[in-house]
Structure 1
Amino acid sequence: MLSDQRVDDAQRRTALGEFLRTRRARLTPTQIGLPAGPRRRTPGLRREEVAVAAGVSTTWYTYLEQGRDIHVSRIVLECIADALHLNQDERLHLFLLADQSTTATPSLLPEETIPAAYQLVLDGLTEYPAYIRGRRMDILAWNKAACAVFGDFALLPHRERNFLWLIFTDTPFRRLFVDHAGLAQEMLEIFRETATRYMSASWLHEFTDALSQASPEFRQHWQGHNVRRKSYGAVSRELLHPEMGRLVFTIAGFQMSGDPDIQCCIFTSTPNSETATKLRQQLHSPAPL
């Protein structure tokens, strides 16, 4: 039986090969300074074209895509990243996949316990919807204002109390967001950056397999291997609520102390704005009998 470390290495190399194949599939020869040549049966670059552009042998690059156990220097990785026109997030992802020393290999989902103090902070944000999201995109904690906008997370089955599940399946949560398709793709790309550090974990494969079965859209995007890092800058989201109508929020994201994979998301609105007024009225309206 292979040791856990050898299994982790094999999975990492397999993911590296899949990532490289998807990156070259999106390019054309002219994009890397090569003649267009005859029409191709499949889109993208050939392996030998990437190798030429990166200044490495075709055999060596082929071994890399095949997941062979070969040593990869940082200089060569930089050349491959340049040849494939990788952006900054994709470069970091490439190095994480290729460099064993930077890849975490936990076999279980680390415990995600939200201290009581954090729940008190959420509850104190009386007119700002807020929730805390874990490394698997599970919704771990939330406040009353979040329930007013998104629905009561406590009523959802545990598996579905997950941002990716809610945004990739046909749910009222998904339908709230005007650009739900764009948001889904963005959040999946952020999730892949985190998931790279847990490739050998059973929880990751169980979760992605289940969501792939539930959502063809997720399955398609997951196979694309696109990646981006979390952004802690403020971003805007437009929602269309069935009762409150159009809502516009600016989201402030904060990393939970001691764990970069757990994030607090606060949906803010300008004081006395239309969104703030609607939400305040919703929160203070009497409950139906």
Structure 2
Amino acid sequence: MTETSERGAAEGTRRAELAAFLKTRRAKIQPGDVGLPDGVRRRAAGLRREEVAQLAGVGLSWYTWLEQGRAINASTQVLDALATTLRMDPVEREHLHVLAGAVPLRGQADDLVIPDAVFAILRSLDPLPATLATSRLDTLGTNEAFQVLFAGWHDLGCLHHNGLWCTITEPNARRWLPDYDDDIAYLVARLRSNYARHIGDPEWEANIARLSATSPEFAKIWARQEVAEPCLRSRRVMHPDLGLMNFTLTQLDVAFCPEVYINVYTPSDAETWALLARTRQG
């Protein structure tokens, strides 16, 4: 495939992603949410295209073409009007702008070169379990505390070294993570947010295609078009020997390594601190 055809394919994928995202957001808004009467019989949930167009102050044909993935441009002002009409939160609003081409996409990155100092920081966080990861959720490294905490995690071999793969395809994951469904939904939403800036990148596209083919669960969640930003999160871990442990999961960006970050598990209570110390015993 030539460079020109690759760019064309990426642009087509971007427009298709934009169309799917708009459709799912439109389906979530009920007429009453935007001051429209609920009594009109509707064939599908959510607003009609003509209602979105009217509320956002755009032409129906133009909006229809946008949802059909046609090659049309949208200004920042129009995108903001659509985001407001569809009651998007700040994360969804930014995602809309990225998909619409209002934010430059990132090309395929060269091979990552992580300075040794970053791995030294990762190790120094011990006794806090921590991982070094990318925006695609690839795991670049783990410290000893993390390795000890999750020593019995894998029933299957770790083939992809990726946090999402290692959770959604691992039979033991539901036993280890009491909030598995919420954890997976968040990881997929983070992946989709990050993917918007890498549409057309062969490695990203292949990774998502493999996940979709391997896991119907992933494919179903991916189709929901949900997005999420980094935030302080609670993660409960049911250790097979020690019982329930409560952590706060924090993402620390590595400023000079774009889209590389450190995930840190900090115990949320005194009992978990004590149990974490016991993982190093025996």
Q: Which residue of 1 aligns with 2:240?
A: 242
Gaps of 5+ in 1: none
Matched, 1:279 2:281: no
Matched, 1:74 2:72: no
Pairwise CA distance, 1:230: 1.9
Q: Which residue of 2 aligns with 1:218?
A: 218
Q: Which residue of 2 aligns with 1:134?
A: 134
Pairwise CA distance, 1:254: 0.6
In the alignment, residue 29 of structure 2 is paired with which amino acid? L
Q: Which residue of 2 aligns with 1:95?
A: 97
In 1, distance between residues paired with 2:191 and 2:78?
Answer: 27
Question: RMSD between aligned alpha carbons?
Answer: 2.2
Pairwise CA distance, 1:44: 1.7
In the alignment, residue 19 of structure 1 is paired with which amino acid? F
TM-score (norm 1): 0.88
Conservation of the 8 A alpha-carbon contact between 1:212 and 1:218? yes
Pairwise CA distance, 1:127: 1.6
Gaps of 5+ in 2: none
In 2, distance between residues paired with 1:37 and 1:56?
Answer: 25
Q: Which segment drifts farther, 123-132 or 87-96?
A: 123-132
Q: What is the aligned length?
A: 279
Q: Which residue of 1 aligns with 2:23?
A: 21
Classify the secondary structure of the residue corresponding to 1:254.
strand
Q: Which residue of 2 aligns with 1:31?
A: 33
In 2, distance between residues paired with 1:133 and 1:283?
Answer: 24
Matched, 1:264 2:262: yes
Runs of 4 or more off by more than 4 Å in structure 1? Answer: 152-155
TM-score (norm 2): 0.90
Conservation of the 8 A alpha-carbon contact between 2:137 and 2:162? yes
Change (3 A) 1:175 1:260: farther
In the alignment, residue 168 of structure 1 is paired with which amino acid? I
Pairwise CA distance, 1:153: 8.5
In 2, distance between residues paired with 1:124 and 1:78?
Answer: 44
Identity of aligned residues (%): 33
In 2, distance between residues paired with 1:141 and 1:153?
Answer: 16
Conservation of the 8 A alpha-carbon contact between 1:130 and 1:142? yes
Classify the secondary structure of the residue corresponding to 2:69.
coil
Conservation of the 8 A alpha-carbon contact between 1:164 and 1:184? yes
Pairwise CA distance, 1:100: 5.1
In 1, distance between residues paired with 2:60 and 2:171?
Answer: 47
In 1, distance between residues paired with 2:89 and 2:135?
Answer: 23
Structure (1 or 2) with the greater helix fraction: 1
Q: Which residue of 2 aligns with 1:172?
A: 172
